[in-house]
Amino acid sequence: MYKEWETIISGGVEIRGVKAMAIPRRLRTDNAILEEYKFVAHRDRVQVSLKEAIRLSIQIALEYHQTVHIKTIELIDDSDEVTIAELASPILTEILNDLPLIQAKVHLSAPSNRFNYSLFPNVIALDINKVSKEDNFMFAVGIGLLSRNKNHQLEKILLKLKNSGFVLTRERSKLENLSTLSKQGLDVILEKNIGEETIVLLKKKEQLVKKTEVIHVNNNEFTWLEKLNSFNIENETNDMRIILVSEAELESGLLGFVNCLRKELGGEIIRSVLIQDTKAPKFSLQNPLYSEQLQLDLPINVLKPGKVWGSYRYQPLPSLQPKLVHHAYVGQTVCKKIL
């Protein structure tokens, strides 16, 4: 910073005539949300809480659809043994309220007089039989939808979902070959365990992609930007995909870059593959390791060692626990006069 020239100079950047003024700090009216950003495997079936599984599922769904308006519906029937404390809808409300800008409508379809809705006023009672596809539900929750006696419920829910909508099902029976769901137009996105239940997140298959362009990005040179700029994504059809690939680099700004691109007009055709495994095979659309993952049509795809696919997610920090220490310090931040 050169005060006599009123100039700030950094690598490739020069700023002149900067003026600074003090402004009063705005007091926060809400509680701060403390989170950590970490890798989460999608189909490892590790033990998590129901709230964590729902949070992961919602983040994946919102990342795909890039919308601030979201409608969800939970379907409960007479055969479902679930208490108010085990419902997903109040958890959905809490999670969506923590997300900035998101405007959500959370619905619950259950037998009349089954639950006292005054206990969760932000959940809207709704009969799924009165729902039309025009309602644009993006996210649905059910129990045991993959069992034989619930096939009709799954089909009913799928008819109410928008294109590429997501379904979260809580399975208490042993799951067989999930690959057969592809015949029903469903892709398996997430698998987690919560006690005796297995959480499975499904996505309605998208239309077939007719054209795919692969662009390899790296941190050391930027000729790939010219190739990316050559595509006028605003005028491209939704059946095209531009896949940005970063490999052999454990640290990359690819994910943030892709999140920004997808917010631009036409950015919904952008996809990314971040390979954080130095021993992984070179990226190729003909390699089943990559082609099968890309068929899920997820915006973010991160490969870790051991052929583990997942993505980076924001997760709440665990609450602080009291701990015995040898020393403690007290800081007096407000001066008080003692009379």
Q: Where are the beta strands (DSSP E) in 126-174?
A: 137-143, 161-171
CATH superfamily, region 37-204: Vaccinia Virus protein VP39 (3.40.50.150)
The per-residue pLDDT for 336 is 66
Percent residues over pLDDT 90 in the chain? 49
- Distance separating alpha carbons of residues 169 and 197, to the nearest angstrom: 10
Residues 6 or more apart whose CB falls under 8 angstroms from that of 255 comprise 272, 274, 300, 302, 312
Cβ–Cβ < 8 Å for 317, 34: yes
Q: Report residues of the chain scoring pLDDT below 50.
A: none
Domain coordinates in residue numbering, the chain: 37-204, 211-316
Residues 6+ apart with CB under 8 A from 290: 273, 283, 284
CA–CA distance from 254 to each of 24, 251, 286 (Å)?
36, 9, 22
Task: Assign 111 to helix, strand or coil.
Answer: coil
- The DSSP line for 269-326 is GEEEEEE--TTSPPP-TTSHHHHHHHTT--SEEEEETTTEEEEEEEEEPPPP-----S
Closest CA to 171 of 209, 197, 152, 137: 197
pLDDT value at position 98?
86
Identify the sign of the CA torsion 308, 35, 254, 270. Answer: positive
In the prediction, which pLDDT does 19 show? 84
Q: What is the pLDDT of residue 192?
A: 95
Distance of alpha carbon 256 from alpha carbon 90, whole angstroms: 30
**CA dihedral sign, ordered 109, 169, 100, 272:** negative
Contact 107, 124 (CB under 8 A): yes
Q: How far apart are the first and last CA of the chain?
A: 48
Count of other CB atoms within 10 angstroms of residue 220: 5
So what's the pLDDT on residue 339? 57
Q: What is the pTM of this model?
A: 0.84
CA atoms within 13 A on the CB side of 227: 12
Percent of the chain residues topping a pLDDT of 70: 98
* Host H or E run for residue 50: helix 50-65
pLDDT at 329: 87
Among residues 295, 327, 300, 299, the alpha carbon closest in space to that of 311 is found at: 300
